[in-house]
Structure 1
């Protein structure tokens, strides 16, 4: 048990579960109509400069545009949240991602996410939720599970929702997007208490419906993944996720690498919250 958690529990009233109320209240700020568009932006740390075109290096400009577009939440690492608080504060929900990795580390630990901060740090930043990745099936699964359980326990004490990036990933997998494998990762996520799950799109409405069913009522959002060739292709994937009962998307590259960042973000919002077809959304926002 961490010192942070001991202090928090010492301040609570025995037999009164205030934390459960806090989780519901904060989750409602993200899933305002039961669905959410989360702008995920940990790429600079996890992928490095290769993910950013030369005119997209300035993180503040990207975050300003997606906040102006009205996304429901942004998911940032603690350092970026600190550097950009004047942009997002009071305008959108903040999810602080507490684990990460770089691609500079040795191949032997590439499927390991390390804890960067505590739930208490996220509270200090004004967060509405915390997030952590577990690579289910990885050689380092046990370490990430232990980190997750610490984060989850701390989050409950603070009334903070915990989003799990439930990714089946490891050197032995032939296909990370196999529906059976993704379903297993989602089942594992709910077994360890995830309040919201981000996972891979399995390629069709029918298979993703099974992923949503496996979550047994816990909201599931699609991982935005690699950049699609055409905006409408990504919007089609997203439309299938919503039709399958999914709760939205946590998207990064398919927005910040789009020709028009703000228009792409607004198109994503229209598909998720208004139920526009991919073609209607692309036409409304002049996406090529």
Structure 2
């Protein structure tokens, strides 16, 4: 039986026609502090919304600082995991919100971050299972950020490792998986093939050129991804609206990188 509640909420964070999505994560204030692009959240959200982003992802305390009541509407994903870059173990993600709290805040979806290969993997997976059950009980869609991180993982972009962590997220009940792009269309298509739920790619660290960013987006879409979840490369861009529009041209309109670059002059 179709979970109509989940379906209605999912349609708020994706395009109803393409079934694809452009998500802009703005949760970096916990992990990195008040970096460029996050000091005036309402302005940043307005710029990416004007560019055609489908949803923003943020921690519970920031929702009243930027979402919504003005400008163009945009979906809301409440992030439930946290750790800081100055902590003893940045890979140890802990849960700082719950599904009912997110519902009260107006969330269309919730997200968690799981580091497979980390020292606290077992605890994070246990929380994943609990939250997945809670999401089903409340008809709340779940985005799982699945990353390979730890001493036994020399290359977090290895397609075999990324395929494994993506599959873990699907096995434990996520509705959408966010994970690393493996560098090319062929290898990432194997990640998609091995994952039974839709996949979006992470943006990763700041990329030094627009063309590299758009080539990554195009490769992921052509491999079968349903979209992107890109933060710093959008909200720290010199023109967040224009780069979001360029990504929209690829994700939702199927244009080439060359055609999308025209958005940027």
Q: CA deviation at 1:194?
A: 0.8
**1:219 maps to which of 173, 198, 205:** 198
**2:218 maps to which of 231, 236, 239:** 239
Q: CA deviation at 1:280?
A: 1.0
1:91 to 2:73 alignment:
yes
Q: What is the SS of the residue equivalent to 1:45? A: helix
1:28 to 2:3 alignment:
no
How far, CA to CA, are the matches of 2:204 and 2:70 in structure 1?
Answer: 23
1:193 maps to which residue? 173
1:264 to 2:243 alignment:
yes
Q: CA deviation at 1:232?
A: 1.3
How far, CA to CA, are the matches of 1:94 and 1:262 in structure 2?
Answer: 18
Residue 214 to residue 283, structure 1, CA distance change in 2 (3 Å): same
How far, CA to CA, are the matches of 1:240 and 1:52 in structure 2?
Answer: 28
2:151 maps to which residue? 171
CA RMSD in angstroms comes to 1.7
- TM-score in terms of structure 1 length: 0.87
Task: Determine if contact 1:209/1:245 at 8 Å carries over to the other structure.
Answer: yes
Q: CA deviation at 1:192?
A: 0.4
Rg comparison, structure with higher value: 1
1:110 to 2:110 alignment:
no
Task: Determine if contact 2:205/2:232 at 8 Å carries over to the other structure.
Answer: yes
Task: Determine if contact 1:64/1:87 at 8 Å carries over to the other structure.
Answer: no
How far, CA to CA, are the matches of 1:185 and 1:176 in structure 2?
Answer: 10
**1:142 maps to which of 93, 117, 122:** 122
Task: Determine if contact 2:117/2:151 at 8 Å carries over to the other structure.
Answer: no
1:11 maps to which residue? none
1:160 to 2:140 alignment:
yes
Unaligned runs of 5+ in 2: none
Aligned residues: 263
With 142-151 and 190-199 compared, the bigger mean Cα shift is at: 142-151
2:82 maps to which residue? 100
Residue 103 to residue 87, structure 1, CA distance change in 2 (3 Å): farther
Mapping 1:117-132, distance limit 5 Å:
117-132=97-112
Unaligned runs of 5+ in 1: 1-16
**More helix per residue: 1 or 2?**
1
